[in-house]
Chain A
Amino acid sequence: EPEVTQTPSHQVTQMGQEVILRCVPISNHLYFYWYRQILGQKVEFLVSFYNNEISEKSEIFDDQFSVERPDGSNFTLKIRSTKLEDSAMYFCASSRALGWEDSTDTQYFGPGTRLTVL
């Protein structure tokens, strides 16, 4: 069964460093998302991406964050200058359609990248 993959599974970085989190969505999916989950808290939406541009972003997704689909398979989240509070699990998700296109469509999540900022 196709699945979303993410690399690395765990990233440790120093405060102020740039990190790039990588995702390979399910191959026939068109919509891509990043979510994050601070330890012990709920999952929060960061950004959605379609047709090579951001379609929606949350207030968390400030100028330090960017997303890119550099080729036909990868989807990346870059944090330019990491802060301590960026420590979290970051989930990539993908879906075939949007809710208004197909209300039954589901977002499938990758296994997550645990980011630790020291």
Chain B
Amino acid sequence: AQKITQTQPGMFVQEKEAVTLDCTYDTSDQSYGLFWYKQPSSGEMIFLIYQGSYDEQNATEGRYSLNFQKARKSTNLVISASQLGDSAMYFCAMREDFGNEKLTFGTGTRLTIIP
């Protein structure tokens, strides 16, 4: 079974608009971390933002924020005021805190910002 599901293979958004990238996850652990990484065309993986399973507030980091809905097991990434440089692949990932150290990634969403 997929542990991380990203249902949007590609999205096109007008510059300066906000965009939401969806991510749902599956775990029976109580303690886990959720991460978003950006992969531009150059290929590197850039850490964007983190949400812990016990965090009561949604994480924010500059123009990035998470809409974390624990009961629905979703952690959607919101990018406000999108810029051309936001065009990239975006990966959602989960780390189950006990017994596993690895990150499990989703299949990614390719975001294209239209000028």
Contacts and interface: CB of A to CB of B under 8 A. Distances in A.
Interface of A: 31, 33, 35, 41-45, 48, 55-56, 58, 89, 91, 93, 98-100, 103-104, 106-112, 114
Interface in B47-76: 47, 50, 52-54
Nearest to A48: B101
Q: Which 9 A-B pairs have the closest CB atoms?
A: A99-B97, A45-B102, A109-B45, A111-B44, A43-B105, A48-B101, A42-B107, A42-B105, A103-B52
B54 A103 contact: yes
Counting chain B residues whose Cβ lies within 8 A of the other chain, the interface size class is 20 to 34
Max chain A C-beta neighbours (<10 A), residue from B33, B35, B106: B33
B85 interface: no
Contact of A44 (B52, B105, B108): B105
B102 A58 contact: yes
B100 interface: yes
